[in-house]
């Protein structure tokens, strides 16, 4: 008997959760596959959400946590919701589903970033209780700083104060900017494109920053928006010079109205090109193969007989994920299936056959 299971991706937005539904079907008597039964029981045939369902879930996620973000992190609810929208729209469906089931914002954000296993709700609560009397900073909680992956992108202009109405940044003044998740950077004097950053859950950006003809000697410092400006300089310049430096700038988490601030000692124009970003690894589909079947040789298993079959080993570099067992009759049930071994007893009145194979998978890579 073959069992099929389908999973309804989104059952009730009003409840801010997900409900699984299952259906079962029978096919005419024939081969019995433990692989199909195992997949059905595990719900591996999860349905991909429609665009509408994904959008509903994204809006529900924002509605659930926007007030919390404003109260705890000081980021206006509408600002955070607007800046998160592109990331939620591109979020992995499984990650978003898991995030909706979390009880803490910090744990939910870890799920969105694909590292939910590293921050349980209990751990997030413990961290909240231990940090600043219950007033965490963006650098303490929800900051996805482990196992970050750097992704280079084609250099793209995100800032050019020479092309803005605000003009040069005044002496001893600070101006704040957006680095990712903007459909256009023209308001900052940059590209009319999104620079390939739309929908990112990045935690830091790599930027080439250039000071253009400062009015005097001095320095400039780039630092995460909403944090205290450090004493260290990001770039040093002399009057009238054109000086640049490559920087790694952390981005606040959760998103705020801006990503980083730029302080300058002397009045100066600035140009910035984003060249890459750091973010948690993106979920990658496994590469899987199935071995050949090890089949009972002729004349098969006699009535009332027992039989074990050992599936061929996985190829080098692959790990077994499933043992697949198939018999030629409904009256020859599988009684054991583990580690590539299949066992069955023939209750039929004629000779029958048992087959065994393995599903073997690996994480793609070099």
Q: Helix 105-112 to helix 51-68 angle, to the nearest 10 degrees?
A: 140
Q: Are residues 186 and 199 in the same domain?
A: yes
How many residues belong to the chain? 366
In this prediction, residues 123-144 reach a mean pLDDT of 54
pLDDT tops 90 at residue 242: yes
pLDDT class for 113, splitting at 50, 70, 90?
confident
Q: CA-CA distance, 18 to 98, in Å (whole number)?
A: 9
Domain C-terminal end among 230, 248, 279: 279
pLDDT tops 70 at residue 142: no
Integer angstrom CA distances of residue 156 from 47, 164, 263: 37, 17, 22
Tens of pLDDT, residues 200-211: 878 899 999 999
Give pLDDT, residue 147.
66
Give pLDDT, residue 129.
67
Q: Are residues 170 and 204 in the same domain?
A: yes
Q: Are residues 65 and 174 in the same domain?
A: no
pLDDT class for 120, splitting at 50, 70, 90?
confident
CATH number at residue 260: 2.60.120
Q: Are residues 262 and 162 in the same domain?
A: yes
> Chain-wide mean pLDDT for the chain?
81
Q: Is 267 exposed, middle or buried (0-12, 13-18, 19+ CB in 10 A)?
A: middle
Give pLDDT, residue 272.
95
Give pLDDT, residue 128.
67
Higher per-residue pLDDT: 364 or 242? 242
Q: CA-CA distance, 101 to 212, in Å (whole number)?
A: 49
Looking at the chain, the number of H-run helices and the number of E-run strands are 6, 16
Domain C-terminal end among 134, 157, 175: 134
Give pLDDT, residue 343.
97
In this prediction, residues 66-80 reach a mean pLDDT of 86
Q: Which residue, chain included where needed, has tokens 């009535």?
A: 303
As given in the structure block, the two tokens for residue 84 are 């998160």
Q: Are residues 155 and 242 in the same domain?
A: yes
36 in a structural domain: no
Give pLDDT, residue 219.
96
pLDDT class for 187, splitting at 50, 70, 90?
very high
Report the range of poorest mean pLDDT among 30-39, 56-65, 224-233, 279-288.
30-39
Give pLDDT, residue 105.
86
Overall number of domains in the chain? 3
CA 120, 125, 126, 127 dihedral sign is positive
The pTM of the full predicted model, rounded to 2 decimals, is: 0.61
CA angle at 128 for the pair 124 and 133, rounded to the nearest 5°: 175
340 in a structural domain: yes
Q: Are residues 155 and 250 in the same domain?
A: yes
In this prediction, residues 130-142 reach a mean pLDDT of 46
Q: Please give the residue range of the domain that contains residue 205.
A: 149-279
Integer angstrom CA distances of residue 297 from 76, 178, 338, 353: 70, 68, 21, 8
In this prediction, residues 260-270 reach a mean pLDDT of 97
First to last CA, the chain: 40
Give pLDDT, residue 320.
95
6 in a structural domain: no
In this prediction, residues 74-83 reach a mean pLDDT of 87
In this prediction, residues 193-197 reach a mean pLDDT of 92
Domain C-terminal end among 263, 279, 295: 279
Q: Which residue, chain included where needed, has tokens 């045939």?
A: 45
Tens of pLDDT, residues 313-335: 999 999 999 999 999 999 999 99
Q: Which residue, chain included where needed, has tokens 């990712």?
A: 180
Q: Are residues 185 and 82 in the same domain?
A: no
Give the H/E segment covering residue 235: strand 235-237
pLDDT tops 70 at residue 224: yes
């Amino acid at each position: 008997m073959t069992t099929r299971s389908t999973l309804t991706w989104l059952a009730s937005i009003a409840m801010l959760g997900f409900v699984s539904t299952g259906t079962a079907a029978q096919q005419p008597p024939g081969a019995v596959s433990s692989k199909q039964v195992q997949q059905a029981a595990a719900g591996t045939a999860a349905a991909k959400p429609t665009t509408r369902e994904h959008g509903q879930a994204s809006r529900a996620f924002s509605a659930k946590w926007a007030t919390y973000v404003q109260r705890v992190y000081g980021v206006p609810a509408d600002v955070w919701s607007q800046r998160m929208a592109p990331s939620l729209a591109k979020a992995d469906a499984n990650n978003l589903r898991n995030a909706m089931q979390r009880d803490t914002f910090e744990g939910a954000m870890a799920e969105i970033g694909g590292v939910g296993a590293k921050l349980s709700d209990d751990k997030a609560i413990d961290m909240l209780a231990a940090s600043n009397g219950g007033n965490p900073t963006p650098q303490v909680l929800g900051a996805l700083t482990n196992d970050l992956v750097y992704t280079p992108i084609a250099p793209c202009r995100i800032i050019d104060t020479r092309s803005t109405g605000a003009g040069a940044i005044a002496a001893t003044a600070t101006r704040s900017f957006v680095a990712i998740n903007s459909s256009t950077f023209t308001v900052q004097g940059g590209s009319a494109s999104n620079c390939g950053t739309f929908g990112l859950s990045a935690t830091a950006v790599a930027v080439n920053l250039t000071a253009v003809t400062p009015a005097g000697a001095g320095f400039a410092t780039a630092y995460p928006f909403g944090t205290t400006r450090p004493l260290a300089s990001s770039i040093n310049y002399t009057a009238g010079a054109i000086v640049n430096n490559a920087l790694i700038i952390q981005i606040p988490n959760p998103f705020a109205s801006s990503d980083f601030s730029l302080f300058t000692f002397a009045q100066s124009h600035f140009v910035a090109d984003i060249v890459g970003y750091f973010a948690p690894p993106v979920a990658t589909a496994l590469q899987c193969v199935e071995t050949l079947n090890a089949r009972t040789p002729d004349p098969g298993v006699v009535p009332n007989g027992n039989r074990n079959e050992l599936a061929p080993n996985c190829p080098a570099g692959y790990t077994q994920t499933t043992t697949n067992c198939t018999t030629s009759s409904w009256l020859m049930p599988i009684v054991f299936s583990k580690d590539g071994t299949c066992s069955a007893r023939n209750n039929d009145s004629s000779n029958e056959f048992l087959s065994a194979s393995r599903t073997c998978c690996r994480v793609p890579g070099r």
